[in-house]
């Protein structure tokens, strides 16, 4: 069973995914985090993606599908995963549905976090100052937003047409309040599946 946390950069996907993956007892799979670890470890993959990530552009679909496939093949993901940062394009969404179909898995739900652009920018610049991520600056933020609007947002329509359940929630407020909103949705999905 796959649950997806979806939203623009700075919408709180990573923060929420940590809590929600515990709630669902499945691993938190963040493709951005996987790439950052590759960069930190100095691997070939890391070297190839570092400049792309810093600029705020998207890494190729081909590469990202491979990264996700390999992560989902690990034993801790045998019962599913919570995806954060994937899929980011319609091509990735198509690849994901094909991958899940081959395994007999489903997407339980897609939670889309809604946060206004101004607030997103404020959060990203704050995180840049606190954590020093190479893509948390004003210039890369604009590029990431452009990628989101053009490449990623259409994934929601694609999912809706494919019959995947998408719920949009307000992503502004205290972290615990938003976690509670998400818990209500994933709980309902899980109970619905069980009955």
HSE-CB for 48 with a 13 A CA cutoff:
8
| Token representation of residue 151 | 């490449």
* Segment interacting with ligand AMP (CB under 6 A) among 56-64, 106-114, 123-131, 158-166: 56-64
50, 39 contact by CB (below 8 A): yes
CA distance 177 to 42: 38
- Of 5-44, which residues contact ligand AMP (CB under 6 A)? 9, 30-32, 35
Task: Give the phi and the psi of residue 30 in degrees, each rounded to 5.
Answer: -105, 115
Judged by CB under 6 A, how many residues of this single chain contact ligand AMP? 18
Residue 188, Cβ neighbours under 10 Å: how many?
A: 12
Residue nearest to ligand AMP (CB): 32
Among 28, 71, 88, 123, binds ligand AMP (CB under 6 A): 88
Nearer to ligand AMP, 24 or 64 (CB): 64
Q: Which of residues 134-193 bind ligand AMP (CB under 6 A)?
A: 135, 144
- 52 lies in the site for ligand AMP, by CB under 6 A: yes
Q: What angle do CA 155, 152, 74 make, to 5 degrees?
A: 80
Q: Which stretch binds ligand AMP (CB under 6 A): 39-47, 80-88, 111-119, 157-165?
A: 80-88
């Amino acid at each position: 069973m796959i649950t997806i946390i979806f939203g623009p950069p700075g919408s709180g996907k990573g923060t929420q995914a940590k809590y929600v993956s515990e709630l669902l007892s499945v691993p938190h799979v963040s493709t951005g985090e996987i790439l950052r670890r590759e960069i930190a470890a100095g691997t070939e993959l890391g070297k190839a993606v570092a400049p792309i990530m810093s600029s705020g552009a998207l890494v190729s679909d081909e590469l990202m599908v491979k990264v996700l496939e390999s992560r989902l093949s690990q034993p801790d993901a045998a019962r599913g995963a919570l995806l954060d940062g994937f899929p980011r394009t319609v091509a990735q969404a198509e690849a994901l549905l094909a991958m899940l179909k081959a395994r007999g898995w489903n997407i339980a739900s897609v939670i889309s976090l809604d946060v206004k652009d101004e607030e997103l920018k404020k959060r990203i610049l704050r995180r840049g100052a606190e954590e020093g991520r190479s893509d948390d600056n004003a210039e890369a933020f604009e590029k990431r937003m452009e990628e989101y609007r053009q490449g990623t947002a259409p994934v929601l329509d694609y999912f809706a047409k494919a019959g995947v359940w998408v719920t949009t929630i307000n992503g502004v407020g205290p972290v615990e309040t938003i976690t509670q909103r998400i818990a209500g949705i994933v709980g309902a999905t899980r109970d619905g599946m069980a009955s």
